[in-house]
Chains A and B, each alone.
Chain A
Amino acid sequence: MERLLQEDAIIIGRLNCDEFGMGSSNENSVHGKVLNAADESRVPGGSSGGSAVAVQANLCTVSLGTDTGGSVRQPAAFTGIVGIKPTYSRVSRWGLIAYASSFDTIGIFSREVSDNALVMEIIAGHDKQDSTASRKMVPAYSTLLHFEKRARVAYLKESIDSPALQPEIKENTLQVLEKLKAEGHTVEEVQFPLLKYVLPTYYILTTAEASSNLSRFDGVKYGYRSPHAHNLESMYKLTRSEGFGEEVKRRIMLGTFVLSASYYDAYFTKAQKVRKLIRDFTEDLLNKYDYIVLPTTPSTAFKFGEHSGDPVAMYLEDLFTVPASVSGVPAISIPNGKDAQGLPIGLQIMANAFKEAELYAFAAYVLKLNP
């Protein structure tokens, strides 16, 4: 924010989101649901649904969100705009209310890729207050949007063949790949056998980190404290139980479980190992190929309440966005047409770590190729 203000950005306001960044639909908010401007009976996606809709509905030019497992890219796809999750540690996390510290990334929504790149140029880069922020130099992204080379593009077999994938999304994704082939780029199918394990890995690690990050909300130093407490223990329990929503409590309980002594190795350590495998695989792939292309989401915007009863079904919505989160590499979602009901479809492009410039350039190119 400080950097944007220094560059004379006009900050219009703050936006609604899923509580503590947990959720894929922006239904988990004490301030009420956020509605998708394309169809107000449907979710805009989450957790940064408010930020997405603000841009979608032209209330502002750009907005910021947090992408931990897809919370910028998924709403971008549902609302038909551009949303990027940069490389983990590219943007400082100072000031970002922590959900899952080794996944949280600030992302940007916009209608134009060029606007997105400009904002990234300003907010990215070293921050002495964040010990994990990268000290790598920040390229002038907005000046590097010209794309001229021959790209080597991979697409994941398991994503295209996924039974959960809405047919129209599959169709539109394959169409883009065909267009790229026609332009002379190398487009190849690769296998990613670990794809189905990315989600459980993600949820084990993020709920663990979140369960710890949210311990600070205890009614002692700031925030809500329950008026009904009569001793320390009840103060903690009532404050936190009254103060947190259902989804948050569920994730805290899960995180506490996977970190508990008897289960730590079976779940948490296991997930850390699988994360290493996923990251190494993704990096290798992105060394052989310049980009990975896949759908952003398995379906277009679903109706309110459609997934509220079934947590796992809700988690499965993140299937295609979490690979980039687990690996830490940058990924962008750009509009890729609409389905039969007029709901936006998103196309996701991934590049190797710290290659946001190449990513932006290619994304702008694909949008021109596929308006």
Chain B
Amino acid sequence: MLDKSIKDTYELVIGLEVHAQLLTKSKMYTSDSTEYGNLPNTHISVITLGHPGTLPKVNKRAVEYAVKMGIACNSEITRRNIFARKNYFYPDLPKGYQITQDKGPICVGGVVPITLPDGTEKEVALTRIHMEEDAGKSMHLAGEVDTLVDFNRAGVPLIEIVSEPDMRSSEEAYAYLVEIKKLVRYLDICDGNMEEGSLRCDANISVRKRGESAYGKKVEVKNMNSFRNVARAIEHEFERQVLLAEAGVEIVSETRTFDATTGTTASMRTKEDLNDYRYFPEPDLSPVVISEEWLQSVRESMPPLPRFLYQKFMQTYQLPAYDAGVLTESKEIALYFEALCTHTQAYKGASNMVMGPVKSYLNELTLSIADFPIPVENLAKLVDLADTGKVSASVATQRLFPTMLARPEVDPLALAQELNLIQESDTASILPIVEEVVAAFPDKVAAYKGGKKGLLGMFMGEVMKRSKGKADPKVATQLLTEQLEK
């Protein structure tokens, strides 16, 4: 294990390359289906298989999705786009080249804002975003003497998002991936699911002594299939590289693969490292020119972005950062919350309602907010009911809310009255009960005055019992405390 004091003298430098599979119906350059999970070699065409004489044709929606991501990240959108061939041999690459973008990516630069667990905010700069096609799947199975190849995935549209080496810790890398996932889901351009492969990440990791401006030799790490594994791989690489540096051993710039079982990386040194991709402009595709009108129409179709809503929720709705963060995790929840707030001004109450019972309900039944049964106006009324003290918060969430799920059309006030749950907030009616309780337990009152403040709970219980649960706990507490302190 590496001594922390030694590790602290080094700076970890991380850049991430993320591939996101786009949610188009058809592939990047052909019209076969991108649908996941079908029988092998059923979503293919002569173009996908690279038959001689076949030619590609660009999917317009894929271009728009790439532009959307660029706009969301504040990148510069390249107006005249050409494609390039990346040449190499592998069984799942049917043409022997991938059609991608080399010079002149569709998005240049950009920024992804991230929030760390401790609340710190940072900006990670992007180098570029470009469009390309996915390869098929090669399966190397233990019992088989052959490699099996399935071309269903070959040609599915991808965007590759390349960050600058701006991240300095595995937490930052994790936060970056969380933000990317949020962004692509807000934009409805990608599922953002690493476990299923719709989001993939390669990490470029190097170390240098703190204070040095020159970068160390960078090592590429592949084969991490979850955000957590990306963080683990980075941690491991950090230690491995620092140990080498301390021992005076030169760090080799290479590609390494991550092993999730051991949490370590191993060299992938194969002849492929010597690969020269011989990029050149793709002669079979005409340039794609993004006009001002087209760009404007894409801008107009953009949804509100997470960072924007996050700021808005804090400023306009006066919510704490935590609430704003939770509510903007998904676009659907954020938009639902906004809709809720057009019917009530009890924003914090609304936030608690959505973060609490609403989300629990959705999670339990794995539903999306679109399937949430209670109409937004009724939920707003419930929020107001609790906010004005007509029912206690716990009654609202534990009694009324569940009933409203079963009877979504019911008016919460009517329901509360029906169930006799309206609480008594009138001081004039609670005070006698409080006085009664205080008078009934003189020895406990003495103990309370003597220091046993915990007895307040017992007194509250009595008050609630005698008021048949209707006393407003806030008012009751206040009156009780006053009486007890007398």
CA distance A236 to B93 in the complex (A): 13
Is A186's CB within 8 Å of the partner chain B? no
C-beta contact mask, B268-303 vs A, less than 8 Å → 1, else 0? Answer: 000000001010100111100000000000000000
Determine if A132 and B87 form an interchain contact, defined as CB atoms under 8 angstroms apart: no
**Interface locus among A54-62, A254-262, A285-293:** A254-262
| Chain B, residue nearest A235 (CB) | B91
Residue of A nearest to B53 (CB): A95
Interface residues of A (CB under 8 A from B): 93-98, 101-102, 128-132, 208-209, 211-212, 214-218, 220-222, 232, 236, 256, 259-261, 264, 268
* Cβ–Cβ contact A215 & B87, under 8 A: yes
Contacts A131-B57, A132-B285, A260-B276 supplied; 7 other A-B pairs, CB < 8 Å? A98-B53, A129-B57, A130-B55, A131-B285, A216-B96, A220-B91, A220-B94
Residue pair A212, B278 in contact (C-beta under 8 Å): yes
Nearest CB in chain A: distance from B378 CB, A: 52
Name the distance in Å between A124's Cβ and chain B's nearest Cβ: 17
* A216 lies within 8 A of B56 (CB): no
Bound: A217/B276 CA distance, A: 19
- Tell me whether B87 and A131 are in contact (CB under 8 A): no
A215 with B286: CB separation less than 8 A: no
Give Cα distance in the complex from A169 to B96, angstroms: 44
Q: A98 to B278, alpha carbons, bound, how many Å? A: 18
Are B52 and A221 touching (Cβ within 8 A)? Answer: no
Contact A259 B278, beta carbon cutoff 8 Å? yes
Q: How far is the CA of A202 from the CA of B275 in the complex (A)?
A: 26
Shortest Cβ distance from residue B90 to the other chain A in the assembled complex, whole angstroms: 9
Q: Can you pick out 17 interface pairs between chain A and chain B where the beta carbons lie within 8 Å of each other?
A: A93-B284, A101-B283, A101-B284, A102-B283, A131-B286, A209-B280, A209-B283, A212-B87, A212-B97, A214-B96, A215-B96, A216-B94, A216-B96, A220-B149, A221-B50, A221-B51, A264-B280
| Closest A residue, CB atoms, query B47 | A129
Whether A261 lies near B147 (C-beta < 8 A) is: no
Give B contacts to A, CB under 8 Å: 49-58, 85, 87, 89, 91, 94-97, 147, 149, 276, 278, 280, 283-286
Instruction: Write the chain B residue with the least CB distance to A256.
Output: B278
CA distance A261 to B278 in the complex (A): 6
The reply to whether A94 and B55 contact each other, CB–CB distance below 8 Å, is yes
Which residue of chain B lies nearest to A233 when distances are taken between CB atoms in the complex? B271
Alpha-carbon distance A258/B288, docked complex (angstroms): 27
Asked if B149 and A132 sit within 8 Å, CB to CB, the answer is no
When distances are taken between beta carbons in the complex, the residues of chain B under 8 Å from A217 are 52
Inter-chain contacts of A214 with B (CB < 8 A): 96
Q: Known contacts A131-B58, A131-B286, A268-B280; is A222 also within 8 Å of B49 by CB?
A: yes
Would you give the shortest CB distance from A88 to chain B, in whole angstroms?
Answer: 10
Q: Please report the C-alpha to C-alpha distance between residue A187 and residue B93 in the assembled complex, in whole angstroms.
A: 54
A215 & B283 in contact (Cβ 8 Å cutoff): no
Cβ distance A206 to chain B, nearest Cβ, rounded Å: 11
Chain A: minimal CB distance from B218 (Å)? 18
CB distance from A16 to the nearest CB of B (A): 17
Q: How far is the CB of A188 from chain B (nearest CB, A)?
A: 35
Check if B278 sits within 8 Å of A132, measured CB to CB.
no
Closest B residue to A222 using CB positions? B51
**A259 B284 Cβ-Cβ under 8 A:** no
Cα separation A132 to B147 with both chains bound (whole Å):
36
Cα distance, A217 to B91, chains bound together (Å) = 11
Cross-chain contact B284 with A215 (CB below 8 angstroms):
no
The listed residue with most B CB atoms (<10 A of its CB), out of A131, A232, A264, is: A131
Q: Which residue of B lies closest to A130 (CB)?
A: B55
**Distance from A263 Cβ to chain B, minimum over Cβ atoms (Å):** 10
Min CB distance B242 to A, Å, is 32
In the assembled complex, which residues on chain A have CB atoms less than 8 Å from the CB atom of B278?
211-212, 256, 259-261, 264
Question: Quick check: B276 and A132 within 8 Å, CB to CB?
Answer: no
Which of A93, A128, A209, A221 has the most chain B CB atoms inside 10 A of its CB?
A221
CB contact between B53 and one of A96, A218, A221, A260 (< 8 Å): that residue: A96
Contacts of A215 in B (CB 8 A): 87, 89, 95-97
Q: Closest approach, in angstroms, between the C-beta of A130 and any C-beta of chain B?
A: 5
Q: Which of A209, A216, A268 is in CB contact (< 8 Å) with B50?
A: A216
- Decide: B89 and A94 in contact? CB cutoff 8 A: no
Expressed in whole angstroms, the minimum distance between the Cβ of A239 and any Cβ of chain B is 11
With both beta carbons as reference points, the residue of chain B lying nearest to A220 in the complex is identified as B91
User: What's the least CB distance linking B233 to chain A, in Å?
Assistant: 27
Contacting pair A131 B284 (CB below 8 A): yes
User: B residues within 8 A CB of A216?
Assistant: 50, 52, 94-96
In the complex, which residue of chain B has the Cβ closest to the Cβ of A100? B283
Closest 6 CB pairs of A and B: A215-B96, A259-B278, A101-B283, A102-B283, A97-B52, A216-B50
Query: Does the CB pair A259–B87 fall under 8 Å?
Result: yes
Q: What is the CB-to-nearest-CB distance from B479 to chain A, in angstroms, rounded to a whole number? A: 79
Which of B91, B94, B283 is in CB contact (< 8 Å) with A132?
B283
Most chain A beta carbons < 10 A, residue from B57, B87, B91, B278 = B278
B95 touches A97 (CB 8 A): no
Bound Cα distance A22, B292 (Å): 44
| Nearest CB in chain B: distance from A366 CB, A | 33
Residue of A nearest to B85 (CB): A212
- Residue in chain B with minimal CB distance to A215: B96
